[in-house]
Amino acid sequence: MLLSNNVPRNLWAEAINTACYIGNRVFLRPGTRNTSYELWKGKRPNVSYFHTFGSKCYILNDRDQLGKFDAKSDEGIFIGYALNSRAYRVFNLKTRTVMESSNVVIDDTRLKSKNDEEEDVLEDDSPLERVVVTPNVGTSNEVTQPSTRVPNLDSNEPAPWVRRLHNKEDVIGDVNEGVRTRRQIANLISFTCYTSQIEPKKVDEALNDEFWVLAMQEELNQFERNEVWTLVPRPKTTNVIGTKWIFRNKSDEDGNIVQNKARLVAQGYSQIEGIDFEETFAPVARLESIRLLLSISCVHKFKLHQMDVKSAFLNGFLQEEVFVEQPKGFVDAHHPNHVYRLKKALYGLKQAPRAWYECLTQFPVDNNYTRGSVDKTLFIKRDNDELFIAQIYVDDIVFGSTNNTKVQQFVDVMSHEFEMSLVGELSYFLGLQIRQMNDGIFITQAKYAKNLVKKFGLENAKRCDTPMSTTLKLSKDASGKSVEQTLYRGMIGSLLYLTASRPDISFSVGVCARYQADPKESHLSSVKRIIRYVNGTSNYGIWYSFDTNASLVGFSDADWAGNCDDRKSTSGGCFFLGNNLVSWFCKKQNSISLSTAEAEYIVAGSGCTQLLWMKQMLVDYGFNQVFGNVRARTRMCLVCAKTAYGDAIGISLVFTSVADRRSLSAAWPPNETAV
């Protein structure tokens, strides 16, 4: 089947599966009255939907949002039949994945074998031409000379032979992109023989796929290595929690599926508070902490590394007695009614994050690493002038040191206690693409931004130079036409995560986010404008330069009664470590300010709070000097002179703490920083 139909050998498993499928539904030898299918099912099989293995086919593209001029189908190779439905199994040449679909058009007439192709070449009467390739040895400014064609004459040094197949005007598509050879296609799809390209929705589907069975077995082997549970008789008076299999395909940065991951989770919704769990909270690192760590590495000029703990939650010890059901498909044959008593946490348990956090954070402390005073996910170790820093986000760890020996020591210590993976230089973390260069660090979310634009179908829309109009002020627009809340909220949520590296859209996204309860067409138009702006600036990001220092500078300001609906003011601020932007905020104030001075005084209090948090973080890193700058004249007088007259007397006493912070100084910002 593979050779006669010119199908890559990497699909041998699909060929065997299809051969068995057909063999069960046809007569294999004369004199046989019933097929295997008829003996098993008790009815005659229908073979009208059979097609030739390896035929060219076209799969309806129903996964992407297509434009008017986009192709509605993908080209593929027919390789078999689905076991649990009437769908076909095809290999998609565009996505390089094996998929099941019933929306397939199969062309059996365009099938060619390798021998047929060779005969076509031999029987072609068109003359062959010899091509002498002239090497391009000129500079980039010179015009490359075209290849020179000469008659087919005998020569001592034969030139390469090239057969001209088509004229350029007859080629459909971009002729400059070239074509893939069969060997290239075979190499691209070789991984499909070792991974399944379909995520099963049910356990029964996974149990019929050998790749997913192996993934499930690997998950249970991890349980055994970590000594997660013990099989015991079912208790009569104790709550037994159910289990469920979750199946996910893991992809690389290019979207290729590289691993089938099966995760056994507990159905934590059936847990009883006070009996099955107590504490559940587990802190994680803030994105500001991650950006501050990146800036600190620029100050000290060292590289950052990353690693993650494999099956992290399976390492956390439980304080409560918890029982779970045996996983479906892997029930003990000798004790089918037994249950598992958990020694360690299981994904899905409400206390699992807390148990893992206590396990992970206690281990560095036991190995002489100091925990941060305000950020409990930060660990520091000092040795004279040498500094080591590690930041933890659930099971992901970012770390670095001024001495590479300290880095290797930390890797060895963690690898000895936990099973680690992805040890290397920091490049991708929480959706942030981080490029560490010789003179600084560039943080971007270019891939996320492009996927966001494509997700909402605006990749071909006209791009904008600014995220928001300077003349339009949004309001509730009570008379406007309502739009779908799910779509609007999805756009806002996607854009909010993009602000992790894009402060330029922080204000506009924040304004549009106020109208998620009842979005109108005017609001949707503004959100789409932001996405069109992102489409033209998807490669934007934050640059952290090595040419910086450890001084902390903050700028804050506020408008007055800027909201058209409730006349509340909007606070904004940004905070730098040296020349590097580390933190920013933009949000509506909780109360209505009676004057510009009050609005600016309130934002001064918010800025002071942020500065004090960052100052204490810098103290943990070993820095002490902090400068705080405020911008408005009225606020400057109130903060520095502690004076209040007229309407300013009514300002809440909460914000007078700004004047009492002796560790912070108020100063005029440079004129060029004013907006």
Q: Sketch out the chain's domains with CATH numbers.
A: 9-114 (no CATH), 203-430 (no CATH), 443-542 (no CATH), 548-673 (3.30.420.10)
Q: Which two tokens stand for residue 493?
A: 């949520």
Neighbour count for residue 39 (Cβ, 10 Å) = 10
Half-sphere CA count of 451, side-chain side, radius 13 A:
11
Give 161's strand partners. Answer: 130
pLDDT value for 675: 46
pLDDT value for 131: 36
The string of DSSP codes covering 24-88 is TTS--STT--S-HHHHHHSSPPP-TT---TT-EEEEE--SS---TTS-SEEEEEEEEE-SSSSPE
pLDDT > 70 fraction of the chain, expressed in percent and rounded: 78
Q: Answer yes or no: is pLDDT of 579 > 50.
A: yes
Burial of 71 (0-12, 13-18, 19+ CB in 10 A): exposed
- 171-186 tens-digit pLDDT: 444 444 445 555 545 5
Q: Answer yes or no: is pLDDT of 2 > 50.
A: yes
Q: Answer yes or no: is pLDDT of 374 > 60.
A: yes
pLDDT value for 670: 57
Q: Answer yes or no: is pLDDT of 630 > 70.
A: no
Of 261-270, 333-342, 591-600, minimum mean pLDDT range = 591-600
pLDDT value for 154: 43
HEC string for 407-432: HHHHHHHHHHHCCEEEEEECCEECCE
Contact 576, 582 (CB under 8 A): yes
What is the 3-state composition of the chain as percent helix, strand, coil, each rounded to the nearest 5? 35, 20, 45
Higher-pLDDT residue of 22 and 33 is 22
- 311-364 tens-digit pLDDT: 888 888 998 899 999 999 899 989 999 999 999 999 999 999 999 998 888 888
pLDDT value for 594: 84
Higher-pLDDT residue of 515 and 192 is 515
Give the distance between the most distant pair of CA atoms in the chain: 109
In this prediction, residues 253-276 reach a mean pLDDT of 83
Q: Answer yes or no: is pLDDT of 64 > 70.
A: yes
In this prediction, residues 366-395 reach a mean pLDDT of 88
pLDDT value for 193: 52
Q: Answer yes or no: is pLDDT of 280 > 50.
A: yes
pLDDT value for 5: 73
In this prediction, residues 521-544 reach a mean pLDDT of 94
The overall average pLDDT reported for the chain is: 79
Q: Answer yes or no: is pLDDT of 122 > 60.
A: no
pLDDT value for 603: 83
In this prediction, residues 94-114 reach a mean pLDDT of 76
Q: Answer yes or no: is pLDDT of 613 > 60.
A: yes
pLDDT value for 368: 85
Q: Which two tokens stand for residue 21?
A: 């499928």
The number of angstroms, rounded, from the C-alpha of 347 to the middle of its chain's C-alpha atoms is 20
Of 288-302, 521-535, 620-634, minimum mean pLDDT range = 620-634
- Give, in order, the Cα–Cα distances in Å from 291 to each of 297, 369, 618: 10, 21, 13
Q: Answer yes or no: is pLDDT of 528 > 90.
A: yes
Provide the residue type at 324 as one letter: V
Q: Which of 174-178, 210-214, 624-628 has the highest mean pLDDT?
A: 210-214
Ramachandran region of residue 408, left (φ > 0), alpha (ψ -120 to 50) or beta? alpha
List the 339-342 sheet strands across, edge first. 229-232, 339-342, 323-324, 240-241
Sequence-ordered alpha helix ranges (H) in 268-317: 287-300
Q: Answer yes or no: is pLDDT of 134 > 60.
A: no
Sign of CA dihedral 461, 467, 470, 472: positive
- 282-322 tens-digit pLDDT: 888 889 999 999 999 999 999 999 998 888 888 889 988 99
Q: How confident is the model at residue 531 (pLDDT cuts 50, 70, 90)?
A: very high
Residue ranges with strand state E in 530-602: 541-545, 552-558, 570-577, 580-588
pTM for this prediction = 0.66
